[in-house]
């Protein structure tokens, strides 16, 4: 479900979207720091660690969460990527909210483009995975 679906009535989706923006930046900072620490302060290895642990979150953070691709485009960004980066990012699927579910197809200047398909992630599922990875004995069950 996306947008003003009747099943989402009364849910403050703007706050859910805000949580995804905040969480993507915070989780990436944390995971990169762990990667930096375990790799002796090597920044390149820290980034590779982050890409390995949170691949979808990392891409979404870089294209939407930390700054919109529309305002800071990179060479590989398609017109659809740029447009999608400033659209409402959250959908509900099965049991959780997700970012990056929508794939945008558009035609611009006679050229058809597609938005990235590698940014779909759930805040709650991601947090459960990180909790299991970094705090396995915390006493709470993910």
pLDDT tens digits along 38-62: 999 999 999 999 999 999 999 999 9
- Quote the CA–CA distance of 142 and 126 in Å, as a whole number: 10
Q: Is residue 6 situated within a structural domain? A: no
SS (H, E, C) 4-67: CCHHHCCCCHHHHHHHHHHHHHHHHHHHHHHHHHHCCCCHHHHHHHHHHHCHHHHHHHHHHHCC
Mean pLDDT of the residues in the chain? 91
Predicted pLDDT at 142: 44
Q: How far apart are CA 87 and CA 132, in angstroms?
A: 32
With respect to residue 59, please indicate whether it lies within any of the assigned structural domains. Answer: yes
105 in a structural domain: yes
How confident is the model over 114-125, as a mean pLDDT?
A: 95
The number of folded domains in the chain is 1
Q: Nearest to residue 35, comparing CAs of 21, 59, 56, 53?
A: 53
**Which of 58, 127, 67 shows the shortest CA–CA distance to 49?**
58
| Residue 4: inside a domain | no
Expressed as residue numbers, the domain containing 127 is 12-134
In a domain, 141, yes or no: no
Residue 109: half-sphere exposure toward Cβ, Cα within 13 Å: 3
Comparing 59 with 140, the larger pLDDT belongs to 59
Do the domain assignments include residue 110?
Answer: yes
């Amino acid at each position: 479900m996306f947008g003003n679906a009747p099943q989402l009535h009364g849910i403050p989706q703007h706050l859910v979207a805000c949580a995804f923006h905040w969480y993507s930046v915070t989780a990436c900072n944390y995971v990169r720091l762990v990667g930096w620490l375990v790799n002796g302060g090597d920044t390149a290895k820290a980034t590779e660690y982050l890409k390995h642990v949170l691949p979808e979150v990392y891409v979404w953070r870089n294209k939407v969460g930390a700054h919109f691709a529309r305002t800071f485009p990179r060479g590989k960004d398609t017109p659809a990527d740029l447009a999608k980066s400033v659209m409402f990012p959250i959908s509900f699927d099965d049991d959780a909210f997700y970012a990056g579910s929508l794939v945008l197809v558009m035609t611009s200047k006679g050229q058809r483009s597609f938005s990235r398909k590698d940014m779909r992630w759930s805040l709650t599922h991601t947090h459960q995975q990180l909790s299991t990875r970094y705090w396995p004995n915390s006493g709470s069950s993910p």
